Amino acid sequence: MPYLGSEDVVKELKKALCNPHVQADRLRYRNVIQRVIRMPGVQEYIQQPILSGLRDKASYVRRVAVLGCAKMHNLHEDSEVDGALVNELYSLLRDQDPIVVVNCLRALEEILRQEGGVVINKPIAHHLLNRMSKLDQWGQAEVLNFLLRYQPRSEEELFDILNLLDSFLKSSSPSVVMGAAKLFLILAEKFPHVQTDVLMQVKGPLLAACSSESRELCFAALCHVRQILHSLPGHFSSHYKKFFCSYSEPHYIKLQKVEVLCELVNDENVQQVLEELRGYCTDVSADFAQAAIFAIGGIARTYTDQCVQILTELLELRQEHITTVVVQTFRDLVWLCPQCTEAVCQALPGCEENIQDSEGKQALIWLLGVHGERIPSAPYVLEDFVENVKAEAFPAVKMELLTALLRLFLSRPAECQDTLGRLLHYCVEEEKDMAVRDRGLFYYRLLLAGVDGVKRILCSPKSDPSLGLLEDQAERPVNSWASDFNTLVPVYGKARWATISKCQGPERRGLELPNTASFAASGPLIPEEDKERVQESSGSGVLMLVPNLQLTAECFEKAWLSLQVAHQQALPWQGAVHPDTLQMALQVVHIQTIAVSRAGAQPWKAYLSAQDDAGCLFLMELLWEPGNSAVQISVKQSEPRPEALSSFMSVLETVIGTIGDIKL
Amino acid sequence: MISQFFILSSKGDPLIYKDFRGDSGGRDVAELFYRKLMGLPGEESPVVMVTKRGHHDDRHFIHIRHSGLYLVATTSENISPFSLLELLSRLATLLGDYCGSLGEGTISRNVALVYELLDEVLDYGYVQTTSTEMLRNFIQTEAVVSKPFSLFDLSSVGLFGAETQQSKVAPSSAASRPVLSSRSDPSQKNEVFLDVVERLSVLIASNGSLLKVDVQGEIRLKSFLPSGSEMRIGLTEEFCVGKSELRGYGPGIRVDEVSFHSSVQLDEFESHRILRLQPPQGELTVMRYQLSDDLPSPLPFRLFPSVQWDRGSGRLQVYLKLRCDLPPKSQALNIRLHLPLPRGVVSLSQELSSPEQKAELCDGALRWDLPRVQGGSQLSGLFQMEVPGLPGPPGQGQSTSAPPLGLGPASLSFELPRHTCSGLQVRFLRLAFRHCSNANPHKWVRHLSHSDAYVIRI
């Protein structure tokens, strides 16, 4: 609510504004103009003093007057934009005083908000670039932000600008460095190597900010480090020690650091990182300890054995808050990395004594149900849960218990029959929660339909490794977040920002406008977005592989022998890739594996097939000779369609490249 | 663009409130912020927060904590967090410069001055200038200082740069003088403080090998001299930047990265390692440097722990030997060792090597305080604890030296006055002649290292 001055104050203000020489005393002028924002009754009085202030000799008065224009405009929101005033402000961009220049940009931005904000054309952009060194750090950071909306006409101009900006990447102020880095990233949108280069250059300042004495700055820097890691996972790997936590740090910093550690882990540092994380698991703060355990679980998707061992050791502590999180981690891990099932099953007995919360119990019960045939004591642990089901507070646990027991009943009927009967009886007769009762009734009727039916319905796959692979592949290109760099988005996190801006809907759009619809430099951005979309859709239109191609080995062989080789190529290959990994990766892009030689066989061969939506079959052979650093690929095609072949090859190349990077 | 700026005391009382744009709700925003801050669950970051009240009143709170105060800015735009955080810390420095030191007392005594400053620094939510030099032309109000400044207090001069325990206990009275309130007493006018402050973070593995060393150094200057007086700071001549540079005959003093304040002129830096600058009055970070992984001097402390752990009876015995590897003439102050213990530790008995030490249990950790340690000396402590309810795996009921999970890592905090870990020293601080009209200016050059994180795994 604006503060309404008393009548005397307004009168006094009006009197001051009526004085033709109000700007003679600059402090008084400033005070008068600053107070204008709260005084709705003085519109008609301020125009004259502000206009004469714009032409004053003292730069201080001009600074105040320029921002006064914005205040004047905002005072009567609905009024037309005054063209003469806008022109005057544009001409003041050439003012001698650097603060006047920056204030002009700010004022124009506010006045022209409806039309998309201040326009940065070529002369203005270059004028600003040349004045940059005269500005203080705040001005520099702000001008860098305004320059984001300028689109250089030619490549030459683009690189000229980048050269001019280079020195700001070395500024001692983090805000200028980040502003310059963002401008680089946006301008060099089409030059990935320049972007990578810039990110290399800001690494130093970012790391310095990460160990800065100001916790808040440190936090903002860590958030940006995470953002960069999404696209360049190896970027900070050699500096992993910088992200070790110290006990005196506040919680929010520690949690960010753990996330960063989790993301930058690679073959060289995994040992040290895990050792450090293990230390955090016994931290006094339960939240932090749990975050560390989840982080180890995240790393376990790639380095399963080491992590499962650490997690198993943690169970020995027999502390509730640790055990529950470890068991939850195990559940997710077994689903994604089936190879660790055995180790997990051995670690589970005994856990039930140390779990009290709902999440942990659900995880444990799920594990016992799905992998119960490998855990000798599973029926008896579940029986204990059934004994205490009346005292159980969480309906979700009861539901999980029903499903788990039924699953276990299918594999170990003799041991479970009695318990299952009791549980069903309890759920149907005594349970008050409707969802649990319905679930109980449902299973009861299902059992009535016969055990075979139950088996068909309940025995779903016990793991889905492709899920983990997909998550790993979600490396985002730099361009997808360049516009969020140096804003609040990385600090909130993308997900939280989405909810915030959704509520902010109408206002946000108003803020976005400047980027898309400024009137002189308009155009290029909107079509560009569309273009991308078009490319995306057309890109998938060219080659759409059919997901569930079922080609038998005989058909494959027949087709293979009848067709000519359409394309041959060698791709770099590390060798020693596990067949499962390959198969999984190929499944993701809908390429079916027909036959693969054993891991370690020499020479190693694989036969694959795929079909696109137009019905064209692709058959291929991968051949790898030991000692060779490339894999020989021969592709045959049922219809000669070169454009489909080339896009198919690029898909295959991506997959092979990705697997090569994983290096198992 | 900032909508509002306010300063809250540590208890949430608004000390300063300024609305720049007149577009947002009144003072209750400050209260709203404090309530949100207190209501945050542990794992969430308080650095930025958002309020949602209806569709058009979304506001981001961005704040820093400084000397127990919350400096908060609100904005409705998706602004650069770096700029805003930097601005807030610059404001904190400015307020410190003008009011003497930043604190609840000084702020509430100088409310008029603070508002005057804010009026100059920000207009309509936009930064105008933060340079002391430009601001001094406009600021009329004198700072109110609680107690008259006297040179006799200099014995307890703390460092304004580092937030160490020492400076918390004994606030530096010399350096916490308002920069611009010296009109009344010209005799105190000419003083310069130059501090070399290093923060040391170290990680030592359980076998004693060094995993990480990181030194963050700063040269900070606080000048009470009239602005525009030139000064030259001579650094150690063997000072090398980067891995490859070689200087002098000895091993040299090597740092990895250096950045200077924009006002520093470096024309004599290459040849003689001299920084030339004309500092404005107030505080200024002249140079920042980082050094990691190889330290020219030995680490200040080594810890030799030995652990006896009897699983059967739950008795845990920890023997800690702390060796200080500083040169014999130097000493370390306010050493505190923090050792997290397994859950459920109940009792502690101790045998310490000297009477002024103290050890106690707090928050499930052992805290061992040593007021001072002379270089080259060795101290030890023997601690016996009972840890019931931590049963080991069956079949291993014997006493072992393997530490139980949950013990350690130990972390040390300390201060090393007159010592820099990198070896960097200020050779001289010379002032240009023309401003020495009255008394010779006092120059104070101080060196200090303190621990940021000094962690030893057990």
In the CATH scheme, what is the code of domain A553-661? 3.30.310.10
Tell me, what's the pLDDT at A104? 94
Q: A316 — contact with chain B (CB < 8 Å)?
A: yes
Angle formed at CA B285 by CA B190 and CA B163, multiple of 5 degrees: 95
Q: Could you check whether B4-138 and B191-297+422-453 share the same CATH topology?
A: no
Closest CA to A151 of A209, A198, A208, A190: A190
Q: Which of residues 331-390 of A touch B (CB under 8 A)?
A: none
Tell which wins on pLDDT, B404 or B33: B33
Q: Are B230 and B432 in contact (CB under 8 A)?
A: yes
Q: Worst-scoring range by mean pLDDT, A37-46, A141-150, B155-164, B368-377? A: B155-164
Percent of chain B with pLDDT over 70: 79
**For the purposes of burial, counting CB atoms within 10 Å of the CB of B160, is it exposed (0-12), middle (13-18) or buried (19 or more)?**
buried
Angle formed at CA A171 by CA A169 and CA A175, multiple of 5 degrees: 85
Domain topology for A6-119: Leucine-rich Repeat Variant (1.25.10)
Tell which wins on pLDDT, B68 or A536: B68
Angle formed at CA A659 by CA A624 and CA A595, multiple of 5 degrees: 50
Best of A488, A501, A504, A507 to substitute, by most chain B Cβ atoms within 10 angstroms, is: A488
Tell me, what's the pLDDT at A425? 92
Q: A547 — contact with chain B (CB < 8 Å)?
A: no
CA distances from B130 to A212, A382, B43, B89, B126 (A): 21, 68, 34, 11, 11
**Which of helix, strand or coil describes residue B318?**
strand
SS (H, E, C) A219-263: HHHHHHHHHHHHHCCCCCHHHHHHHCCCCCCCHHHHHHHHHHHHH
Q: A285 — contact with chain B (CB < 8 Å)?
A: yes
Tell me, what's the pLDDT at A467? 63
Tell which wins on pLDDT, B23 or A109: A109
Amino acid in the structure at residue A550 = Q
Q: B1 — contact with chain A (CB < 8 Å)?
A: yes
The reply to whether residue A244 touches residue B212, judged by beta carbons under 8 angstroms, is yes
Residue A294 has pLDDT above 90, yes or no: yes
pLDDT tens track for A146-175 = 999 898 889 899 999 999 888 898 888 899
Tell me, what's the pLDDT at B351? 84
pLDDT tens track for B363-397 = 778 899 988 888 888 888 898 888 776 554 444 44
Q: Work out the pLDDT band at B53, boundaries 50, 70, 90.
A: low
Report whether CATH 2.60.40.1170 matches the domain B191-297+422-453: yes
Residue A16 has pLDDT above 60, yes or no: yes
Architecture of the domain made up of B301-388+403-417: Sandwich (2.60)
Best of B28, B45, B199 to substitute, by most chain A Cβ atoms within 10 angstroms, is: B45
Q: Which of A174, A175, A248 sits opposite B453 (nearest CB)?
A: A248
Element (H, E) at A390: none
CA distance A65 to A54: 5
Q: Which of B46, B55, B77 sits opposite A252 (nearest CB)?
A: B46
Residue A664 has pLDDT above 90, yes or no: no
Angle formed at CA A432 by CA A429 and CA A434, multiple of 5 degrees: 100
Angle formed at CA A222 by CA A219 and CA A223, multiple of 5 degrees: 90
ipTM of the prediction greater than 0.85, yes or no: no
The residue assigned the tokens 């998938």 is A540
Amino acid in the structure at residue B192 = V
Tell me, what's the pLDDT at A535? 39
Residues 6+ apart with CB under 8 A from B453: A244, A246, A247, A248, A249, B201, B202, B203, B411
pLDDT tens track for A485-526 = 998 888 888 878 877 776 554 443 333 333 333 333 333 333
Tell which wins on pLDDT, B178 or A436: A436
Tell me, what's the pLDDT at B170? 36
Residue B458 in tokens: 């057990």
Q: Which of A27, A179, A242 sits opposite B80 (nearest CB)?
A: A179
Q: B243 — contact with chain A (CB < 8 Å)?
A: no
CA distance A369 to A375: 10
Residue A296 has pLDDT above 90, yes or no: yes
Mean pLDDT of chain B: 79
Going from N- to C-terminal start, the domains of chain B cover 4-138, 191-297+422-453, 301-388+403-417
Residue B19 has pLDDT above 90, yes or no: no
pLDDT tens track for A450-483 = 888 888 888 777 777 666 555 555 567 888 888 8
Q: B363 — contact with chain A (CB < 8 Å)?
A: yes
The reply to whether residue A287 touches residue B405, judged by beta carbons under 8 angstroms, is no
Q: Are A214 and B82 in contact (CB under 8 A)?
A: no
Best of A1, A106, A244, A246 to substitute, by most chain B Cβ atoms within 10 angstroms, is: A246
Domain topology for B4-138: Beta-Lactamase (3.30.450)
Tell me, what's the pLDDT at A540? 41
Going from N- to C-terminal start, the domains of chain A cover 6-119, 367-462, 553-661
